[in-house]
């Protein structure tokens, strides 16, 4: 009886380990918000990155699940902290600043160049893709 329980526990742990390994292999190396077709097929994932120099810094978290994309970027430029949010649905792309009305346009390219690290999003939460009320939305078009 004891051997059976130990063997069953071993098989379950082996199965969970194999599942985790496969999920990590399916995670994209980066998420490109300009290519909705790519993240429409991607497994649910989150990517984080950061980078910077003496001129400023940029960090962020990106989410992809069920054909949707969201990015939360924070940048430090010329002594000011800016937070920009981008949500991409199949019907369009929407961006908004957290606190600033006339913040500068920040060009973001996290395609592995800023040390992006992606991992599986084990329990995707669809609420991160909801466009919040009470913010000034700039519709970006169907693709970025």
pLDDT in tens, 47-102: 888 877 767 788 889 898 888 889 898 887 777 788 888 888 877 788 887 765 55
Domain that holds residue 51: 2-141
By three-state DSSP, how is residue 10 classified?
helix
Say yes or no to pLDDT of 4 above 70.
Answer: yes
Q: Which residues of 108-135 are buried (b: 16+ CB within 10 A; e: fewer)?
A: bebeeebebebebbeebeeebbeeeeee
- DSSP class of residue 103? P
From its phi and psi, is residue 127 left (phi > 0), alpha (psi between -120 and 50) or beta?
alpha
Q: What's the token pair of residue 76?
A: 């430090």
**pLDDT at residue 107 tops 50:** no
The pLDDT of residue 39 is above 80: no
What pLDDT was estimated at residue 52?
74
* pLDDT band (50, 70, 90) for residue 118: confident
Phi and psi for 107 in degrees, rounded to 5?
-85, 125
| Mean pLDDT, rounded, of the chain | 76
Sheet strands (E) in 14-116: 45-53, 56-65, 68-77, 80-89, 92-97
| pLDDT over 70 (residue 143) | no
14 or 22, which is more confident?
Answer: 14
Identify the pLDDT of residue 139. Answer: 55
Count: domains in the chain: 1
Residue 110 has pLDDT above 50, yes or no: no
Determine contact, residues 95/109, Cβ cutoff 8 Å: no
């Amino acid at each position: 009886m004891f051997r059976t329980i130990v063997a069953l526990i071993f098989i379950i742990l082996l199965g969970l380990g194999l599942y985790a390994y496969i999920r990590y292999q399916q995670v994209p190396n980066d998420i490109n918000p300009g290519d909705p077709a790519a993240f429409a097929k991607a497994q649910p994932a989150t990517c984080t990155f950061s980078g910077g120099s003496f001129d400023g810094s940029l960090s962020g978290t990106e989410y992809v699940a069920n054909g949707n994309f969201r990015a939360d970027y924070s940048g430090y430029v010329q002594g000011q902290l800016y937070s920009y949010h981008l949500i991409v649905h199949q019907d369009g792309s929407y961006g908004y600043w957290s606190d600033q009305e006339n913040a500068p346009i920040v060009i973001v390219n996290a395609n592995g160049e800023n040390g992006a690290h992606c991992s599986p999003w084990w329990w995707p939460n669809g609420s991160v893709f909801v466009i919040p009320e009470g913010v000034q939305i700039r519709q970006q078009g169907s693709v970025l």
